[in-house]
Amino acid sequence: LDGNLLAVFFQHLCFVCPFPISIRSGVSERCDSVARLLRKGCGEEFIDNPRVKVEVNASPSSSQVAPRDISILLRPGSEASFLVEVQQLEQYPVDLYYLVDVSASMQDNLDRLKTVGMTLSQRMKEHSSDFRVGFGSFVDKPVSPYINVHPSKIINPCSDYEVNCRPAHGFIHVLPVTENMVEFKRVIQHQRIAGNMDTPEGGFDAMLQAAVCQDIGWRPEAKHLLLVMTDQPSHLALDSKLAGIVVPHDGRCHLVGNTYSQSANMEHPTIGQLAEKLLENSIYSIFAVDQMQYKWYEDLVDFLPGTYLGKLLPKALNLTDLVVDAYKVDSEAHRFWVNITALCPNGSTVTGNSKCSNVQPSQKVQKPPDL
Ligand SMILES: [Ca+2]
């Protein structure tokens, strides 16, 4: 849908026998067709037969799509339909948060961002008259073995290369989402690279904070774009055991001042945890990644809803086109066939026609997808 992220939760259902059928067939085979369960010895009265169910979260929505959450219990091969109201807000608000890996190898990209950041903002204003930007940076967990803990290296991790760079950090929220482009430009100009030891960086830690923290300044009615710029894969949950960090991530915001305070205490979030928080907060992630790491992110995006992946050319030459393309793309539902019929304000209801023309900002369009 060409508005905010609509979260539709699907769950496949099967017939279930409530107890293990036989030691030989194993617990996993309790989920099967009726005929097979009977053959395996499960009494008909015990077989659980769940029905297709559509649950709509009716809480009011101030965004362009209502309702925001729909849960569907669906059997393989079955159908369900529901009604979605789409209303174009007059100013089509968009929030774009730059989440930038500022580790040493990103120097070229960071330099480019200093010039391309404003161009990108101007291009986005062609699509939204109410466009705001924010900025945050990340590197990695600031503990050994991810950083060199020699006292001289903690202050300047790049001293061996006679380059002055700053200490590593998990996530620093630098600029809340704002319409003040002068401030945005000033903030980017002041960014400096930081040093750390190992190749993967702490991208997931930073993404989760950017998704859940109120201080980021996401507006409820806006489309939320989280632009992640990096040239390395992210550390995964459990990686940080190497540093003696064994507390699982709790999925919450931990900003003290503008810095992620639990970087050295909590593990990286799991991919599932991150996906849940992105969905909960209606956030579209855009991965702008170096070509060398493209494959790693290609494998990842299937697990993160509403994610767009783009190859970042050297020195971020194509950053503007990449973000504008990502903005235009609608995310897809995998493994489900969705049929959308738009009920237009002019009364047209042609089956399969998903678009209405000449819709005014105050008018609502209803889209009932048959699944
Ligand atoms: Ca690292």
pLDDT (tens digit per residue) in 20-75: 665 455 545 777 777 888 888 888 888 877 778 888 877 766 666 778 778 888 77
The token pair at 93 is 């608000």
Q: What distance in angstroms lies between residue 195's CA and the mean position of ligand 1's atoms?
A: 9
Q: What distance in angstroms lies between residue 141's CA and the mean position of ligand 1's atoms?
A: 8
Predicted pLDDT at 199 = 93
Between β-strands 283-290 and 339-340, what pairing exists: parallel, antiparallel or unpaired? unpaired
Tell me if the bond preceding 145 is cis, omega within 30° of 0: yes
What letter would DSSP give residue 165?
Answer: -
What distance in Å separates the CA atoms of residue 157 and residue 181, rounded to the nearest whole number? 31
Q: Within 10 Å of residue 27's Cβ, how many Cβ atoms?
A: 11
> Which residue's structure tokens are 């990842």?
300
Return phi, psi of residue 359, to 5°: -85, 130
Predicted pLDDT at 75 = 72
Angle at 144 between CA 173 and CA 99, to 5 degrees: 20
Interacting residues of 141 by C-beta distance below 8 A, sequence separation 6+: 168, 170, 202, 205, 235, 240, 243, 245, 263, 264
What distance in Å separates the CA atoms of residue 333 and residue 325, rounded to the nearest whole number? 19
From the centroid of its chain, how far is CA 268? Answer: 15
Predicted pLDDT at 4 = 45
Interacting residues of 175 by C-beta distance below 8 A, sequence separation 6+: 133, 134, 135, 136, 183, 184, 187
195 three-state secondary structure: coil
Q: What distance in angstroms lies between residue 242's CA and the mean position of ligand 1's atoms?
A: 13
Closest CA to 239 of 274, 200, 294: 200
Residue 361, judged by CB atoms within 10 A of its CB (0-12, 13-18, 19+), counts as exposed
Q: Which residues of the chain have pLDDT under 50?
A: 1-5, 23, 27, 371
Q: What is the largest CA-CA distance in the chain?
A: 76
Interacting residues of 90 by C-beta distance below 8 A, sequence separation 6+: 361
288 three-state secondary structure: strand
Q: Which CATH class is domain 94-328?
A: alpha beta
Residue type present at position 220: P
Q: What distance in angstroms lies between residue 231's CA and the mean position of ligand 1's atoms?
A: 11
What distance in Å separates the CA atoms of residue 220 and residue 217, rounded to the nearest whole number? 9
Q: What distance in angstroms lies between residue 312's CA and the mean position of ligand 1's atoms?
A: 20
Residue type present at position 4: N
Q: What distance in angstroms lies between residue 133's CA and the mean position of ligand 1's atoms?
A: 27
Q: What distance in angstroms lies between residue 17's CA and the mean position of ligand 1's atoms?
A: 48
Q: What distance in angstroms lies between residue 217's CA and the mean position of ligand 1's atoms?
A: 28
Q: What distance in angstroms lies between residue 169's CA and the mean position of ligand 1's atoms?
A: 10
Predicted pLDDT at 46 = 80
Q: What distance in angstroms lies between residue 107's CA and the mean position of ligand 1's atoms?
A: 15
Helix then strand then coil, % of the chain, to nearest 5: 30, 25, 45
Q: What distance in angstroms lies between residue 278's CA and the mean position of ligand 1's atoms?
A: 23
Cβ-contact 229, 135 below 8 angstroms: no
Interacting residues of 292 by C-beta distance below 8 A, sequence separation 6+: 231
Q: What distance in angstroms lies between residue 104's CA and the mean position of ligand 1's atoms?
A: 10
Q: What distance in angstroms lies between residue 225's CA and the mean position of ligand 1's atoms?
A: 25
Return phi, psi of residue 83, to 5°: -110, 130
361 three-state secondary structure: coil
Predicted pLDDT at 69 = 77
Q: What distance in angstroms lies between residue 149's CA and the mean position of ligand 1's atoms?
A: 14
Tell me the whole-structure pTM to 2 decimals.
Answer: 0.77
Domain ranges of the chain: 7-87, 94-328
- Exposure letters 339-353 (e unless 16+ CB within 10 A, then b): eebbbbeeeeeeeee
